[in-house]
A and B are shown apart, each in its own frame.
Chain A
Amino acid sequence: MTTWTLSLGQQRIRLRITPMRVVLYLVLIAGAFVAMFPFIWMILTSFKSYGEVTAGRFFPRELRWQNYVEAWNAAPFGRYFLNSLFIAMATIAGDLFSGILAAYAFARMEFPGRNVIFFLFLATLMIPGELTVLPNFLTIRRLGWYNTYQAQIIPFTASVFHIFLLRQFFMGIPREYWDAALLDGCSHFRYLWSIVVPLSRPAVVTVALLSFIGSWNAFLWPLIVTSSENMRPIQVGLRSFVVEEATQTQLMMAAATMVIVPIIIFYLFTQKYFTEGLTMTGLKG
Chain B
Amino acid sequence: MTRKLVYLTVALALVVGMLAACAPKATPTPEPTKPPAQAEPTKTQEELDPISQLDPSGQEVLFWHVSTRKHEKALMEIIDGFNNSNPYGIKVVPEYAGYYGDIYKKILAGIAAGETPDLAIGYANQVAEYAKAGVIVPLDPFMNSKKYGFTEEEKKDFMWNLLEGDRRPEFGGQYLSFAHSRSMQVMYYNVDWLKEMGYDGPPKTWAEFKEMCMKATDPEKGTHGYAYSGSASLFATLVFTFGGDIVTKDNQKVAFNSEAGLKALQLLKDLFDSGCAYEVAERYGDQKDFANRRALFTFGSTAGLPYYRSAIEESEAGPFNWDVDAPPHETPKPVVNVYGPSAAIFKSVPERELAGWLFLKYWAEPENVAKWAMTANYFPIRKSAIELPEMQEYMKKNPQYKKAFTLLPYGRMEPSVAGYQQIRGIIADMMKQVIEGADPQQALEAAAQQAQEVLDQNK
Contacts and interface: CB of A to CB of B under 8 A. Distances in A.
Contacts of B28: 142-143
Interface centre among B10, B12, B30, B106 (most CB of A within 10 A): B10
Interface string A228-248: 110000001001100110110
B89 interface: no
Interface in A70-129: 74-75, 89, 92-94, 96-98, 100-101
B310 interface: yes
A246 B109 contact: no
A36 interface: no
Nearest to B317: A55
Contacts of B288: 54, 247
Interface in B145-172: none
A50 B14 CA distance: 51
B76 interface: no
B16 A97 contact: yes
A164 interface: no
Contacts of B310: 50
Contact of B109 (A51, A134, A142): A134
Nearest to B30: A142
Contacts, number: 103
Contact of B31 (A52, A94, A144): A144
Contacts of A227: 95, 97
Given A54-B311, A55-B315, A229-B96, A93 B16 contact: yes
B183 interface: no
B98 A138 contact: no
A270 interface: yes
Interface in A173-219: 193, 197, 201, 204-205, 208
Interface in B357-374: none
A152 interface: no
A236 B102 CA distance: 10
A228 B95 contact: yes
B115 interface: yes
Contact of A223 (B16, B106, B287): B106
A193 B14 CA distance: 9
A94 B13 contact: yes
A204 B69 contact: no
Contact of A93 (B12, B96, B99, B102): B12
Nearest to A271: B2
A137 interface: yes
A98 B30 CA distance: 25
A184 to B, nearest CB: 21
A247 B311 contact: yes
A93 B109 contact: no
B17 A243 contact: no
A225 to B, nearest CB: 9
A142 B115 CA distance: 11
Contacts of A143: 28
A21 interface: no
Contacts of B394: none
A244 B68 contact: yes
B237 interface: no
A133 interface: yes
A236 B105 CA distance: 14
Contacts of A205: 6
Interface string B241-264: 000000000000000000000000
Contacts of A101: 17
Q: Chain B: interface secondary structure?
A: helix
A204 B2 CA distance: 13
A247 B69 CA distance: 16
A74 B70 CA distance: 10
B211 interface: no
A146 B2 CA distance: 33
A224 interface: yes
Interface string A259-285: 000000000011001000000000000
B10 A204 contact: yes
Given A236-B98, A247-B311, A270-B2, A54 B316 contact: yes
Chain B interface size, as a band, is 35 or more
Interface string B54-97: 00000000000000110000000000000000000000000111
A221 to B, nearest CB: 11
Contacts of A45: none
Contact of B99 (A52, A98, A229, A244): A244
B112 interface: yes
Interface string B5-42: 01001101110110000000000101100000000000
B111 to A, nearest CB: 10
B113 interface: yes
B284 interface: yes
A147 B10 CA distance: 27
A224 B10 contact: no
Given A50-B314, A51-B315, A54-B292, A93 B112 contact: no
B98 A223 contact: yes
B283 A75 contact: no
A193 B7 CA distance: 11
A141 B26 CA distance: 17
A144 B32 CA distance: 12
B176 interface: no
A49 interface: yes
B13 A133 contact: no
B315 A54 contact: yes
Given A93-B13, A142-B30, A236-B98, A50 B311 contact: yes
A273 B378 CA distance: 55
B149 to A, nearest CB: 31
Contacts of A75: 68-69
Contacts of B16: 93-94, 97
A31 to B, nearest CB: 27
Contacts of A244: 68-69, 99
A101 B28 CA distance: 23
A144 B6 CA distance: 31
B316 A74 contact: no
Interface in A20-57: 49-52, 54-55
B156 to A, nearest CB: 36
Given A55-B316, A244-B99, A247-B284, 8 more contacts: A51-B316, A96-B9, A133-B109, A193-B14, A220-B105, A244-B68, A246-B284, A247-B287
In the A-B complex, list the 4 residue pairs whose CB atoms are closest, starting with the nearest.
Answer: A97-B13, A55-B316, A51-B314, A54-B288
5 contacts: A50-B314, A93-B12, A141-B115, A208-B9, A270-B2
Interface of B: 1-3, 6, 9-10, 12-14, 16-17, 28, 30-31, 68-69, 95-99, 102, 105-106, 109, 112-113, 115, 283-284, 287-288, 291-292, 307, 310-311, 314-317
